[in-house]
Amino acid sequence: MISLPLFISLATCTTTGWLYLSRNRLKPTQILLFIHTIYIAYQILVAFPANVFTDSSSALNVPSDVLRARYMRTGRTLDAELDGLFTKLGSFDLRILYVQFGHDVVAGCDYCQSFWDFALLALPRPLLSYVREIAFIGALTLPGTPRSHLRALGLGILMLSALAEAYFTLTTPIALSPTEKPLITMWHDFFLFLRLTLFLILPFLLYLPRIPYIHRLPIISNVVPLPDPKTHPNYISPGQQLESIQRTLDHLLPSIHLLKYTRAAIMRLPTMRERASAWWAAEKMEGDEGLADPAVQKAGKGMGLGYEKSSAEQEAGVLRQNARKGLESLMASAPPSQHWFTEQS
């Protein structure tokens, strides 16, 4: 563990750098995630529960007087609660309960006598921490947000973790192993560290961008669902798409009819017909001059858009081929009227 002033300094430096880098794209969920990360890091690095055995580097079977003396050498003060704890630890059964339920439960309960007394006292703290984390994950994956499809996955992981922690805390056997170091595992501290680590990592795993093509893996695809397309920022509902198509058709159909009648009117009036012929002749002349320009031809070839005509020596240019294919597809999708065909006699 580190001291509180050092943690505050590190947290201040980290917060300042994060705010500077995210000043233009700060979101409420990012602020919530950062505050949660600082809080969990504080729980792990600063406010982690004490343990008189690990703090004094003592084994579980060390006499109480020796344990007290070693603990005093660490420079910690001995208050009334700690003094009563060392008295309780004269019983090996309470040392076993200390391993299972931690320092705060054994030191803070003067009336507890049996295993279930300590178990009932130890229950609310991890339960409330899981409830708080479930509420936080639920806030990150609210319905209608881009990560709403991960809601069931995140909550399911927390519920399974809570059940697993409760089961192993109550059923893990406590036994000394003289051939191993340490002689015994402090199960409460171990499970607490795993729980806080899960609380620290899980929100980041849910908030990070989705790994590409992860849904194609056989097993993971059943665990990690696909995101809801309705939560995408560029999502357009079918109703909006139909409305857009309707507006386009309302503009396109009158324009097509107007074009048809305008072309017919141009062909009927000699003056309009002459002006249209002159305009198209000028357009053809400009186009021929541009196509015949060597600089334009060289630039077209360099860009992969050559427009040379086909001959016995070479094929037609890419641009000319694409234009021909596009015209053929248009003619195939819009065949001419039957009035254009003449009957063969």
pLDDT tens digit sequence for 184-197: 788 899 999 999 99
Q: Which of 183, 199, 231 is the last residue of a domain?
A: 231
Q: Is residue 20 included in any domain, yes or no?
A: yes
Q: Residues 108, 88: one domain?
A: yes
Q: Residues 265, 177: one domain?
A: no
User: Is 35 or 264 the better-scoring residue by pLDDT?
Assistant: 35
Task: Find out whether 2 and 9 touch, Cβ atoms under 8 Å.
Answer: no
Copy the structure tokens of residue 26.
Answer: 């700060």
Q: Residues 17, 67: one domain?
A: yes
Q: How confident is the model at residue 135 (pLDDT cuts 50, 70, 90)?
A: very high
Q: How many domains does the chain have?
A: 3
Q: Residues 55, 110: one domain?
A: yes
Q: Report, as an integer, the average pLDDT of 143-163.
A: 86
Task: Find out whether 121 and 112 touch, Cβ atoms under 8 Å.
Answer: yes
What backbone torsions phi and psi does residue 168 show, to the nearest 5 degrees? -70, -30
Q: Is residue 339 included in any domain, yes or no?
A: no
Q: What is the pLDDT of residues 247-257, one digit of tens each?
A: 888 888 888 88
Q: What is the pLDDT of residues 329-344, one digit of tens each?
A: 877 776 666 666 655 5
What backbone torsions phi and psi does residue 58 show, to the nearest 5 degrees? -115, 150
pLDDT at residue 52, as a whole number = 87
Secondary structure class of 232 (helix, strand, coil): coil
Q: Is residue 237 included in any domain, yes or no?
A: no
Q: How confident is the model at residue 133 (pLDDT cuts 50, 70, 90)?
A: very high
Q: Report, as an integer, the average pLDDT of 299-304.
A: 79
Q: Report, as an integer, the average pLDDT of 209-233.
A: 59
Q: How far apart are CA 72 and CA 82, in angstroms?
A: 11
Q: How confident is the model at residue 161 (pLDDT cuts 50, 70, 90)?
A: very high
Q: Is residue 342 included in any domain, yes or no?
A: no
Q: Report, as an integer, the average pLDDT of 32-52.
A: 88
Q: Residues 40, 186: one domain?
A: yes
Q: Is residue 182 included in any domain, yes or no?
A: yes
Q: How far apart are CA 95 and CA 78, in angstroms?
A: 19
Task: Find out whether 224 and 217 touch, Cβ atoms under 8 Å.
Answer: no
Q: Which domain holds residue 302?
A: 293-333
- Give percent of the chain above pLDDT 90: 11
Q: Which of 41-55, 198-212, 299-313 has the lowest mean pLDDT?
A: 299-313
Give the contacts of 42 (CB within 8 A, at least 6 positions apart).
Answer: 7, 11
Q: Residue 334 burial (CB < 10 Å; 0-12/13-18/19+)?
A: exposed
Give the residue among 38, 40, 47, 45 at the shortest CA–CA distance from 11: 38
Q: Which of 231, 265, 280 is the last residue of a domain?
A: 231
pLDDT at residue 345, as a whole number = 45
Which segment, 7-16, 215-224, 269-278, 332-341, is predicted with the most confidence on average?
Answer: 269-278
Element (H, E) at 115: helix 115-122
Q: Residues 36, 131: one domain?
A: yes
Dihedral sign for Cα 273, 279, 281, 287, please.
negative
Q: Report, as an integer, the average pLDDT of 49-76.
A: 84
Q: Residues 262, 327: one domain?
A: no
Q: How far apart are CA 270 and CA 250, in angstroms?
A: 33
Q: Is residue 82 included in any domain, yes or no?
A: yes
Q: Is residue 41 included in any domain, yes or no?
A: yes
Q: Report, as an integer, the average pLDDT of 208-228.
A: 60
Task: Find out whether 122 and 101 touch, Cβ atoms under 8 Å.
Answer: yes
pLDDT at residue 183, as a whole number = 63
CA atoms within 13 A on the CB side of 147: 18
Q: How confident is the model at residue 130 (pLDDT cuts 50, 70, 90)?
A: very high
Q: What is the pLDDT of residues 266-291, one digit of tens each?
A: 888 888 888 888 988 898 888 888 77
Checking if the pLDDT of 66 tops 50, the result is: yes
Q: Is residue 264 included in any domain, yes or no?
A: yes
* Threshold 0.85, pTM exceeds: no
- Give percent of the chain above pLDDT 70: 83
